[in-house]
């Protein structure tokens, strides 16, 4: 599979980042750092974030406008020349738009050397959407006019999903884009659900099948990360690893399984599910396992996913059982967190088990610390008791943090 971007770009970028961090830690003098920078130039175009957003929006607008303009003519032409069905016309126009988008994308990467600069991403996402639309139209033509493709249980959906999955896998291999890779995984999940829901026992097996698929994806990511151009696909690997961990957890989460079961079955109010104790156990244990692994490996992906899933487990518990009034629960949880973090800080005063509480780059002040202090102080408002008749409102907005949001 030939790659759309020059793979040297990704590698040089990673190498320069590594060299920069060595310099910050005092292992590499500045002249040497500059020599390394000259030896590994970043000769691609990627502006700052504001401009990237602007480029993305402008390219999207231009692409859609040009596409719509051409589509109008093409449509008229088809009407007068070939008496096709409606879907065929839309499909052909979408296919042409997708091909044109890919062509322009190829051109700007070759000529302007854009590398995730906003414009190339817009072209990639839009041309893939057009291609997906075209595939949808062509699949629809194969079946009688009354078939409804867009329900998860429809047996015709699988054909379209397989085609889209193939398309997305091709695009992932070529462009190494994290969003496309994540979308490909979502399509694979849909395909799995669609296949299982054809069977009567499918609904029962579905959670476990999702977990198995997530575990399989994790193995696959580890395998591919060791055997392909890691730096070119780094963002894909990170996104897929997070998604694998998240879906493994969600597949076993009691709330998701119960409400999902009700949604598939068309129930308005969810009812208790079979194997409930298993799901309770999974909901409780998977986050703890993630956290343990995150600290043991150590891996930030596992750790942060573990924290997020732990919060969701708490939400699951409170969704079905009101354990304590929210205010009491919040205050107790807050006190517990402060105590736990105090203990962690004390324990990690000297690094242990390869963990430390000190910041990563100890040389110089971290950028953004100022803003962080401001945000922390401005959002952590203590709600004040009402002060009757105070003209100017006292300046504090009440109850800021009691919802326990993340």
Partner 1 sequence: MRAAPFIAELRDRGRLTPEQAAAIETDERTRPFSLHYEIRTLLYLGITLLSGGLGVLIYEHLDELGHGVVVAVVALLTAACFAYAARHRPPFSWGLVAGSSLLADYLLLLGCLLFLVLEGYLQAQYALFGTRYGLALALPAGLFFYLAYRFDHRGVLSMAITALAAWVGLSVEPLAVFKNEFLTGSVSRAAIAVGALLLLGGWLSETRHRKVHFAYTYLLLGGNLLLGTATAAMFTEVLQPLALLVILILAVSAGLFWYGRRVHSHLFLLLGATYGYVALTYGLAQLLSATGLNIVLALGLYYFIGSTVAAVWFLTHLKRLAGTAAHEQGL
Taken as a whole, the chain contains a residue count of: 406
Q: How far is the CB of 311 from partner 1 (least distance, A)?
A: 10
Q: How far apart are CA 57 and CA 82, in angstroms?
A: 36
Q: What letter would DSSP give residue 114?
A: B
The three-state secondary structure class of 352 is: strand
Using CB under 8 A as the binding rule, whether residue 30 contacts partner 1 is answered as yes
Beta strands in 70-110 (DSSP E): none
* Contacts of 256-261 spanning 24+ positions with Cβ under 8 A: 257/207, 261/203
Query: What would you report as the CA-atom Rg of the chain, rounded to the nearest whole angstrom?
Result: 26
The region of 18-26, 73-81, 109-117, 281-289 touching partner 1 under the rule CB under 8 A is 18-26
Nearest one of 95, 111, 16 to 119, comparing CA atoms: 111
Nearer to partner 1 among residue 285 and residue 328 (C-beta): 328
Q: How far is the CB of 381 from partner 1 (least distance, A)?
A: 8
CA nearest neighbour of 64 among 109, 137, 129, 113 = 129
Minimum CB distance to partner 1 smaller for 202 or for 330: 330
The nearer residue to partner 1, 276 or 358, going by C-beta atoms, is: 358
Residue range at the interface with partner 1 (CB under 8 A); choices 110-118, 122-130, 158-166, 365-373: 365-373
Nearer to partner 1, 72 or 340 (CB): 340
DSSP E strands in 76-181: the ranges are none
State which of positions 297-356 bind partner 1 (CB under 8 A): 298, 303-304, 307, 325-338, 340-342, 344-345, 348, 351, 354-356
- Containing 121, the helix (H) or strand (E) segment is helix 119-142
Binding flag, residue 200, partner 1 (CB under 8 A):
no
- Total residues at the site for partner 1 (CB under 8 A)? 90
CB of 8 to partner 1, least distance (A): 13
| Residue 327 C-beta: closest distance to partner 1, Å | 4
370 lies in the binding site for partner 1 (CB under 8 A): yes
Query: Binding string, 228-267, against partner 1, x = CB under 8 A?
Result: --x-------------------------------------
Cis before 91 (ω within 30): no
Alpha carbons 230 and 234: distance in angstroms, whole number: 6
């Amino acid at each position: 599979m030939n790659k759309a971007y020059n793979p040297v770009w990704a590698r040089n970028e990673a190498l320069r980042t590594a060299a920069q961090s060595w310099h910050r830690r005092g292992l590499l003098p500045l002249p040497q750092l500059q020599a390394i920078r000259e030896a590994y130039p970043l000769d691609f175009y990627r502006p700052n974030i504001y401009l990237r957003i602007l480029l993305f929006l402008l390219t999207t607008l231009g692409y859609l406008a040009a596409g719509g303009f051409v589509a109008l003519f093409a449509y008229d032409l088809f009407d007068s020349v070939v008496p096709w069905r409606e879907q065929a016309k839309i499909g052909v126009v979408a296919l042409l738009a997708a091909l044109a988008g890919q062509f322009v994308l190829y051109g700007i990467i070759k000529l302007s050397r854009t590398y995730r600069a906003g414009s190339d991403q817009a072209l990639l996402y839009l041309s893939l959407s057009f291609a997906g639309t075209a595939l949808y139209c062509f699949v629809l033509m194969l079946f009688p006019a009354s078939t409804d493709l867009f329900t998860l249980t429809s047996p015709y959906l699988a054909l379209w999903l397989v085609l889209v999955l193939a398309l997305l896998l091709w695009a992932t291999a070529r462009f190494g884009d994290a969003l496309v890779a994540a979308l490909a995984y979502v399509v694979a999940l849909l395909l799995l659900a669609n296949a299982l829901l054809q069977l009567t026992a499918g609904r029962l097996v579905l959670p476990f099948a999702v977990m198995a698929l997530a575990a399989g994806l994790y193995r696959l990511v580890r395998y591919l990360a060791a055997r392909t151009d890691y730096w070119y696909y780094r963002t894909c690997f990170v996104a897929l690893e997070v998604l694998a961990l998240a879906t493994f957890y969600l597949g076993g989460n009691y709330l998701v399984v119960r409400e999902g079961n009700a949604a598939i079955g068309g129930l308005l109010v969810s009812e208790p599910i079979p194997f409930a104790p298993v799901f309770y156990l999974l909901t409780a244990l998977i986050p703890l396992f993630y956290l343990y692994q995150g600290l043991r490996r150590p891996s930030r992906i596992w750790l942060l996913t573990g924290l997020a899933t732990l919060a969701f487990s708490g939400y699951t518990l409170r969704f079905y059982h009101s354990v304590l009034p929210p205010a009491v629960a919040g205050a107790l949880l807050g006190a517990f967190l402060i105590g736990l973090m105090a203990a962690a800080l004390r324990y990690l005063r000297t690094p242990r088990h390869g963990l430390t509480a000190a910041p990563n780059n100890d040389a110089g002040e971290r950028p953004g610390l100022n803003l962080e202090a401001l945000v922390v102080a401005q959002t952590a408002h203590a709600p004040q008791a009402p002060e009757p008749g105070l003209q100017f409102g006292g300046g504090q907005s009440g109850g800021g943090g009691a919802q326990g949001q993340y």
